[in-house]
Amino acid sequence: MEGITFGFVASGLLLGLAIGFVLQRGRFCMNTAFRDTIFIQDFTLFRGFLIALVIMIVGSNILNDMGVISLAVQPFWPLANIIGGYVFGLGIVMVGGCGSGVWYKIGEGQFNSVIAVLGFFLGIHMTATGILKPVYTLLRSVMVPIGGSYQPTLFNVVGDGMTIKWVVIAVVVIGIGIYILKGEPFSAPKQKGLEWPKVGVLLGILGVTAFWASSVWEGFPRGLSFTTPTGELFYTALLGRAMPMHHPLVNVFPMYDVGSFKITWASIFILAVPFGAYISAKILKEFKWKSPPVDELLSVIGGSLMMGFGATVAGGCNIGQGLTGASTLSIGSLVAIIFIILGNWTMVYLKFIKPMDDM
């Protein structure tokens, strides 16, 4: 294993700070984006998510085809993508924040987010290396090829070749673009912080940048992710290495030596996210330590464990699958994010809509 360089540290810190700053400044949490579509029929944040996705689809595939990066497409594990995604979607509503949301909200002083991140890691650990690993292994044992590939994309369904790939990308991007324009992004009302179209654009640009930065300095184009990096950060602190020897991804992400520690680029990135959010919150005068009531805290604990389990099984969270994975047009990633949304809607109905209907 090699030692780290200045670029390794600086790129991780700067990207994490920027992501945290943008997420907080735009109050952008994908739990809220998905929840609002069914709860209050508000699609603004969801359209912001789609803007980021369009930019990442186009940007990452251009970098790939130019030879700047080599995109890693998620396999299609139908049981894992469906069950893991659905459980994760249930959990984020119970927590009140998604994988990225709980990290940036620490920077606002939300104590429940601190608990959520700890529970998120515990769920990850139990699933990847602990008592729930047999469940993880069982759900991951079913892998389905599509178009002759175990890492199928939407364009694999149609055929092979660069032309077919970009025709499919064009159809997807134009379709999403038409839906985004219905939300009148150029007329978004001014607000404190960043309006949803700006958040979407900045998040998309940072997502493409993450593909490039992780490829250059980590040696693997993982892009933006919050599930595996959460585990890597805590494992580094607890064990001195980002990946335990018996972790299923131990040979996927390169580790680098820092004294007696073996760290990853992503563990630096994710550590910087709450600090970026803190800078934004202080500027906006929105930083304040907040402690939730006991019943809410219990919901956060249960939901964060579900998040850790679901995201580990599904192969990523709302960012890892919903943006980074989906930008490759991976069938597995698209299935996972669909079931994350369905899980979110299910818990929104049970927690908010049904009690109101019963009153």
Write the single-letter amino acid at 248. P
The radius of gyration computed from the CA coordinates of the chain, to the nearest angstrom, equals 19
Q: Say what the pTM is.
A: 0.96
Write the single-letter amino acid at 294. V
Per-residue model confidence (pLDDT) at position 159: 82
Which residues contact residue 62 at a Cβ distance below 8 angstroms, ignoring those fewer than 6 apart?
Answer: none
CA angle, 232 as apex, 228 and 235 as ends, to 5°?
Answer: 135
**Are the beta carbons of 315 and 57 closer than 8 angstroms?**
no
Mean pLDDT on 292-319: 95
**Are the beta carbons of 121 and 230 closer than 8 angstroms?**
yes
Beta bridge partners of 224: none
Our measurement of the distance from residue 244's CA atom to the centroid of its chain's CA atoms, rounded to an integer in Å, reads 22
Task: Give dist(CA 224, CA 103) in Å, integer.
Answer: 13
Task: Give dist(CA 97, CA 226) in Å, integer.
Answer: 13
Helix (H, G, I), strand (E, B) or coil at 153: strand
Mean pLDDT on 238-254: 94
**30 band by pLDDT with thresholds 50, 70 and 90:** very high
Per-residue model confidence (pLDDT) at position 2: 67
DSSP designation for 190:
P
CA-based nearest residue to 269, from 236, 233, 243, 231: 233
pLDDT surpassing 80 at residue 1: no
Mean pLDDT on 216-241: 95
pLDDT surpassing 90 at residue 146: no
Lowest average pLDDT, out of 139-148, 231-240, 311-320, goes to 139-148
- Average pLDDT of the chain is 95
